């Protein structure tokens, strides 16, 4: 079942999500929610979806960057973004740690702000302590695009949107991004 993705302006997108207990996480309702979130992010399509975006103020997000989403990007663009396939996975109750390195500046969009994009500085490498969908502790170390996705989605759990971090003068429609910026090297 595809869930409705909330748009900017909905108050739940500006609230801090609550942590899930192991009992919450293993409940059939949350496990069903995870499957619905998977269907929703694939249908959108997107590379990440946080529970607040579908009206659930829970520290829960799903991520998947499928190879088919890379079509239309050159090898140079994939390398520039540090982008690779990321299998579907669930991140629960994340604690984000920036790793040493320079920030990376690139355009981001959001399923809750359809039709727009902006340049957003993000850590180029992060470590995330979290639980997986079965409640097992895990540590994710990520660089490049994967690190960007994690930071973007974890921001949603804190009531933060990319527009809070963007370079304001870069805010653009996706059509204008395609027309004026898509094939340019950033940075």
User: Which residues are part of the catalytic machinery?
Assistant: 153
Q: Measured between alpha carbons, how far is 7 from 10 in angstroms, rounded to an integer?
A: 6
Contact call for residues 150 and 63 (beta carbons, < 8 A): yes
Q: Which of 57, 61, 85, 65 is nearest to 133 (CA)?
A: 61
Give dist(CA 118, CA 187) in Å, integer.
14
Tally of CB atoms within 10 A around 172: 18
From 59, 54, 63, 64, select the one nearest 5 (Cα to Cα): 54
Torsion angle of the four alpha carbons 132, 17, 156, 100, in this order, in degrees rounded to the nearest 10: -60
- Between the CA atoms of 40, 119, 58 and 3, what dihedral angle is there, to the nearest 10 degrees? -20
Q: What's the CA gap between 13 and 30, in Å, rounded?
A: 19
């Amino acid at each position: 079942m595809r869930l409705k993705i909330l748009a900017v302006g909905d108050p739940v997108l500006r609230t801090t999500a609550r942590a899930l207990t192991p009992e919450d996480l293993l409940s059939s309702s949350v496990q069903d929610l995870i499957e619905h979130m998977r269907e929703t992010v694939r249908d959108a399509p997107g590379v990440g979806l946080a529970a607040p975006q579908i009206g659930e103020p829970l520290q829960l997000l799903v991520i998947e960057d499928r190879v088919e989403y890379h079509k239309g990007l050159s090898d140079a663009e994939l390398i520039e973004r540090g982008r690779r396939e990321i299998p579907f996975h669930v991140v629960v109750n994340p604690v984000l740690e920036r790793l040493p390195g320079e920030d990376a500046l690139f355009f981001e969009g959001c399923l809750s702000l359809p039709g727009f994009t902006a340049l957003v500085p993000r850590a180029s490498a992060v470590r995330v302590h979290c639980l997986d969908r079965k409640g097992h502790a895990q540590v994710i170390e990520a660089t490049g695009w994967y690190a960007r996705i994690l930071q973007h989605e974890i921001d949603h759990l804190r009531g933060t949107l990319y527009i809070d971090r963007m370079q304001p003068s870069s805010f653009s429609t996706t059509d204008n991004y395609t027309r004026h910026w898509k094939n340019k090297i950033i940075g």
